[in-house]
Structures are given as structure tokens and as C-alpha cells.
Amino acid sequence: MNRNPVVATAPPEQVLSARCKRLWGAACAIFLTAFLVVCSGPTLPGGQEQAQGQTRTQVPAGWKTQQYPGFSIALPPGWSARGDPATGRVELSAPGSAAMVIWPVFLENLRLDPPNASAIAQRLTERLWPNVVWSNAVPVGRNAVRLVGRRGDAVVVSAFAWVESPKGTAGNFYAATAPAARYAEIADTFSKVLGGFRAAGAPVAGAQTPSQPEVRYVKWMDPRENAFVVDVPDGWRVAGGMFRAASNDTRVGVTVDSPDGQISLQLGDPNLPVFVEPHPMLAAAGLNEGGWYSPVPGVNYLVRRYLPAAYFLNEYVRSKMGSVCQPLQVDQPRDRSDAVQSINALQSQLVAYGTFMQSTGAEISFTCERNGQQYRGYFFAITQLTRAAGGAPGNWSVSTQIGYLALASRTDEGIAMAAHLLRSMEINPQWAAMQQGITANTSRIVSQTNTEISDMISSGYERRGRIQDEMARRQTNVNRGQEDVVDTANGEHLKIKSGANYYWMDYRGDIVGTDTATAPSVEFHELMRQP
């Protein structure tokens, strides 16, 4: 089975890669007003409601207004703020494990609706605080959404408001978290802090350039079979290529690592075999789940029940990345049915030809530590199931897989590079034509081999059947004291009482047995004894 990657809809993490840009200036004031309306009253788990905030709050007594590059903010005692000039993100920390983030972004050539905006808000939040379990997403008007979730014993509230322009969509992201027992108490403080936020000054020159450093890409040709070419960052370590497990079982596997080891990219995994579903036919041959099934020499399928992409990724990341960095915290996998809609629409046409094919897509994020530093990772995968008419066991494989692991502060670079790696992959047409020939020849060989094996099995069964029938016949004759003879005059098979060496029959049908080879008279002809 040829398992070359299928370039499907890009993972939504790509949307937030090079398109996240600085947005200081007058536009921020517009969004802050919307945010205070959106975020001042989220429904908390358990039915609690926050008090309504004001669009522009006065600085409460005891608070201090602090100036930072690009913004100013009024903070209560014990709070601190930190701005990231590269991304425009402002992070606020409060006593008692409370925190808040304000993050302006610009999305080039992209129009949003509430579902997409909710997905963006979720992903931005999970970059800050992984393992959030969302309970609801509520549109607020036409251009704002609010989400409420849980992370352990903490409440997480996020909001995203946006406006569209001819060049793209500008938006502001807001997120706040606090222990569930304290969230209702601190919600009003969140609103007042947000109301005291001011963008200062005009946008810095170069604000329209991507936040991550510019990368110079070079072409890298698969060194194993010249099967494909991809873009990789210049000077990075690259390994892998097209691996051939069998004549028609090819597997892409490419790893790309930065010189400092802070970013690793992965496209495909050559260690993932083709799987075959458990089936009564296989079980009858002693092949249960976990065993290897070889339909023809050189082709090996791992017996494994089908895993949709979300289940596969959850298992894959825990088993693979758990050995790379610890402790590992894995988010809930997210279904990406939208990424495989066009693939499934095409595959559905095969039903008319007796073949069922279905693809599922999913993505998953995780965090871990390496050398005492926080890392973040992401994987996207498509699993493809194929079943033929007639009840034979189905095959399935991981047709597309892309992922990265990056130092937390370089997550945006990892996202952008992983997306570029997948998007840049080009199959060598000459290799593809050669592979089609191999597949066709292999199909003929497999068909011929299966026919020969089938004939061998059938002839063996028939031979064993004849032997067993003969043994049964002889045993029955012994038990009944009879023998089988053939009338030489007409070829008729007869059963007669045993006890003589020779048997004779006359024209009347009388049968006589003798111990010698002499006929009783000229009226008798011999009956031939069967062995």
C-alpha cells in the first residue's frame, strides 16, 4: 500500500504562525471597549455570573499606573506586567495563581466567523495554559466570541474580538485564569485591569513583518529513492527520506533539527506499518491483535483495530514523546473533520466499485520539559481506512503526519516551519511513474501467487478428503463383514458378504465365492474385488 502523504487542508495552527503581528496603536482602543463588554460577564462553571464592568474604568485607589514600551496599565498591589515587543503580547501575573494576557494579532488575507474565531481563541489560550477543557463557546454579536473552560482546578475565560479590512483581520485576544474558588472574587479586578490598559505611541517600524526571524529555506532531495523534495531551513540537520518496507509499501520519514536543538520537525514516521483489522479469518489462523500478517512474502501487516486520527494521535504522542521529554502533559485531541472533507468526497465515489475508504483528521498539542526548560509540541495526522466488498479484513494506515517540538518561547517558529515543510513537499514525477509500475506488477504477482496458494490449498484438501473417504470405506466394510466388488460385465459397484478369495456372478445375479481362481461353471463371470 502506497502511503505517500496527502497534502490536505493546512492545520489551523498555521493560521497563527507568520500572520500574528504587532498591533499597537489606535486600533487597540477599539478592541478594548469590545473586550470589556465581551469578558465582563462570562458564565462560570456552576452557574455563577461575574459583575458587569465598565468600558473605561477609573484607576482605583491604591493602584499604580505603570509605563512599558508600547503600553501603559494600571495594576493593583502585588500585580506585575511584562510585554513582549516581538509579538505584542502583554502578560499579567497576580497573587494566588491568577494571570491575564492581552494579545493583539493581525491575520493576513483571512476572514473570520464565530466558529473560526473560537478555534483561534482556544489555540492561543492553550499556548499559554495547556490542557484546557472547554465547556462552551458563545458568540457575542457578529465580531466577538467568549469561551469558558477548566484547567485542573482553575477556571479559564478567553475572548476574541475582531474587525475586518481589505488586507486581513485585526483582532485582540484576552484570556484570564484563576483558581475556581477565587474566580468570582477576582473577576471584577480582571475587568478593571483591562479597562486601565492603554496602547502608547504609533506602531513600531516593521510591525507588518512576521514576529519570528526570517528563515532561509533550501531544497532537500530524498537521498534514498529521489522520491520527493522539501524545503528545510538552511544549516539545519536533516535525516530520513522514502523508506520501502515492501515493493508497494513506501513510507515517508523526515526529521529536521535546529543546530541548537531547540526546534525539531517531523514529517511522517517510517516505523508506522500498514495495519490490518482483526478478522475471524485471521483469528482462525492464530493471528490476533498484535500479531503480524504476511499475505505474501515480504509484505507484513500489523493486526490492529482501526484507530480514528484523534485516538491514534493521543496514543502516538504519549508513547513517542514520553521518552523524549518529561513530565509530559497532553491536551485533548481535537477532531479535524474539515481537513479531510475533500478527501472523503473523492473516496466516496469508490463505493460504486466495491471499495469503502474513509479518512479522519485530528490534531493534538502537548507540553513537556527538556534540560529544565519548557517545550511545546503539536501533531496533525490523517488515518485512512480501506475495506473491500466481500467481508475481507480491512487495511488502514497513517497517510499524513506532521509535527514539531519547540522551546516554548519559539513555538511560533515551530508552527510556521512545520506548516512550510508539509506545504513544500513535492513528489518526483519520475519516481511516481516508476512506483505505479511497481504497484501494477506487484498486483499481478500477488494475484498469481494467491491463485497458486489457493490451488495448492484446494488440491491438498481434496487429496486429504479422498484418503479419509477410502479409510472410512474400508473400516465400514470390516465392521459389517462385507467387501466392495465391481461387475466386470457392466462396471457396477456392489457390496457383498466377505469370506472368500474370489467372487463370481451368473446371468441370474447369483453370487458365489470360491477360494481358487476357477469359476463354478461357464455361466459365471468374475467380480473384481476393490482394495
Tens of pLDDT along the chain (531 residues)? 445 443 333 343 333 333 333 333 333 333 333 344 334 443 333 333 333 333 444 678 888 887 776 677 888 888 888 877 667 788 888 888 888 888 887 776 667 777 777 888 888 877 788 788 887 777 776 678 888 888 888 888 888 887 776 667 778 888 888 898 888 888 888 888 887 777 654 443 333 334 456 789 999 999 999 989 999 999 999 999 999 887 778 889 999 999 999 999 999 999 999 999 998 888 888 888 989 988 877 788 899 999 999 999 999 999 988 888 888 989 888 888 877 887 888 888 888 888 898 999 888 889 999 888 899 999 989 999 998 877 788 899 998 888 999 998 888 888 888 888 888 888 888 888 887 765 555 444 444 544 443 344 334 444 444 555 666 677 677 667 788 888 877 778 888 888 788 888 887 888 888 888 788 887 788 888 876
Could you write out the DSSP letters of every residue in 324-381?
Answer: TSSS-EEPPPEE-GGGGHHHHHHHGGGGGGTEEEEEEEEEEEEEEEETTEEEEEEEEE
Q: What does DSSP say about strands 98-108 and 168-179: parallel, antiparallel, or unpaired?
A: antiparallel
CATH architecture of 19-199: 3-Layer(aba) Sandwich (3.40)
DSSP secondary structure code for residue 431 in this structure:
H
How far is the C-alpha of 56 from the C-alpha of 59, rounded, in Å? 9
DSSP secondary structure code for residue 49 in this structure:
B
The answer to whether the CB of 460 falls within 8 A of the CB of 468 is: no
Take residue 479 and report the three cell numbers written for it.
Answer: 465392521
Take residue 487 and report the three cell numbers written for it.
Answer: 461387475
Q: Which sequence spans correspond to the domains of the chain?
A: 19-199, 217-427, 432-472, 481-529
How far is the C-alpha of 124 from the C-alpha of 139, rounded, in Å? 17
How far is the C-alpha of 127 from the C-alpha of 133, rounded, in Å? 14
